[in-house]
């Protein structure tokens, strides 16, 4: 529900009076730690491919908001994180969680957010028992609809296959795959002005000069923070089997020793008619290729600077 306020989203889920793939209601916090761990793993391995919620303070059956302000088993975020930190997950990779508290109809409702990830499937390498309940080692749990995998069983094979496909990005579009591969610079090799992924060479990043582009004569304002303010522009193209999936202008700074995507330009308008901009600013949009993930596109050149933008120091 991107674009919807978190509190509005939670209220909508409560009003639905049902549970589903990525949300579960609990009247109280877990008294049994094995049950808590089992629920977290099922949610982390959900098939909705999104953040999941365990919502505490909602009455069983009626879905009324009863709150957890008097719950003796109530845990805070740090306690949840510390609890997961001590468990023996495969490869030491464990679900990331966040706990938020909302005030709804005069009651405190805790929402444990289990972050979506491609590190699935999450499972233990060592049994974790508590008061007759046991989360079993090497068992893969998931959630389908409103039902978790039984604690003494593994998920059906088709659901296990899906979780492994998710880990290897086989459930993602080619563009999402290449952005994920950009997290590891060791996977990329350079061939002239093209970079290719050594494991998936169909993924390429081409750096293209525009010989007719004279804009490098006007440095960007942030270029003056460099030792050499001379600037030149190129075009970066992300391609899959030669088809361009994304294109972005990049700026070569400090005589070509460093390159980065150029930020977008925006303006702040004041006044009744908003005809003229009072202030301008440059920005990266969060979650855009040139924003949070776009930082992976930054290329540090250890080779000689490009002679086309050399300048006397």
Residue 213 scores a pLDDT above 70: no
Decide if pLDDT at 25 tops 60. yes
Residues 264/282, Cβ–Cβ less than 8 Å = yes
- Alpha helices per DSSP H over the chain: 6-15, 33-44, 77-85, 157-167, 174-181
Q: Classify residue 237 by burial, with Cβ atoms within 10 Å: 0-12, 13-18, 19+.
A: middle
d(CA 206, CA 174): 16
Q: What are phi and psi of 134, to 5 degrees?
A: -140, 125
> By C-alpha distance, which of 176, 170, 140 is closest to 46?
140
Structure confidence by residue, pLDDT tens digits, 175-192: 999 988 988 889 999 998
β 107-114/97-104 pair status: antiparallel
Question: What average pLDDT does the segment 15-26 reach?
Answer: 97
pTM, entire model: 0.79
> In terms of Cα–Cα distance, which of 311, 164, 182 is closest to 248?
182
Helix (H, G, I), strand (E, B) or coil at 19: coil
pLDDT for residue 107 = 97
309 confidence band (pLDDT: 50, 70, 90):
very low
**Cβ atoms of 284 and 291 closer than 8 Å:** yes
Q: Give the list of residues 6+ apart from residue 78 with CB closer than 8 angstroms, or none.
A: none
Span 66-109, pLDDT tens digits: 999 999 999 999 999 999 999 999 999 999 999 999 999 999 99
pLDDT band at 194 (very low <50, low <70, confident <90, very high): very high
CB-based contact 99:106 (threshold 8 Å): no
pLDDT for residue 274: 64
């Amino acid at each position: 529900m991107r674009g919807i306020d978190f509190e509005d989203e939670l209220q909508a889920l409560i009003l639905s009076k049902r549970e589903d793939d990525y949300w579960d209601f609990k009247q109280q916090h877990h008294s049994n730690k094995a049950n808590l761990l089992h629920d977290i793993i099922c949610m982390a391995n959900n098939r909705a491919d999104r953040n999941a919620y365990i919502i505490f303070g909602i009455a069983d059956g009626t879905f009324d908001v009863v709150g957890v302000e008097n719950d003796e088993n109530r845990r805070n975020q740090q306690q949840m994180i510390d609890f997961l930190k001590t468990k023996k997950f495969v490869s030491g990779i464990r679900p990331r969680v966040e706990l938020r508290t909302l005030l709804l109809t005069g009651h405190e409702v805790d929402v444990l957010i289990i972050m979506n990830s491609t590190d699935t499937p999450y499972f233990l390498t060592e049994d974790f028992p508590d008061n007759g309940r046991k989360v079993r080692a090497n068992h893969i749990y998931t959630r389908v609809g409103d039902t978790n995998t039984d604690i003494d069983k593994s998920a059906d094979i088709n659901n296990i296959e899906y979780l492994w496909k998710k880990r290897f990005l086989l459930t993602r579009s080619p563009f999402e795959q290449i952005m994920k591969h950009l997290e590891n610079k060791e996977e990329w090799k350079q061939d002239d002005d093209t970079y290719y992924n050594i494991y998936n060479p169909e993924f390429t990043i081409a750096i293209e000069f525009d010989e007719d582009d004279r804009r490098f004569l006007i440095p960007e304002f942030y270029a003056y923070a460099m030792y050499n303010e001379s600037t030149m522009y190129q075009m970066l193209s992300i391609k899959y089997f030669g088809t361009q999936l994304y294109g972005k202008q990049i700026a070569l700074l400090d005589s070509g020793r460093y390159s980065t995507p150029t930020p977008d330009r925006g303006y702040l308008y004041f006044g009744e008619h908003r005809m003229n901009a009072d202030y301008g600013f440059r920005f990266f949009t969060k979650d855009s290729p040139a924003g949070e993930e776009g930082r992976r596109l930054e290329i540090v050149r250890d080779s000689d600077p490009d002679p086309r933008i050399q300048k006397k120091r």
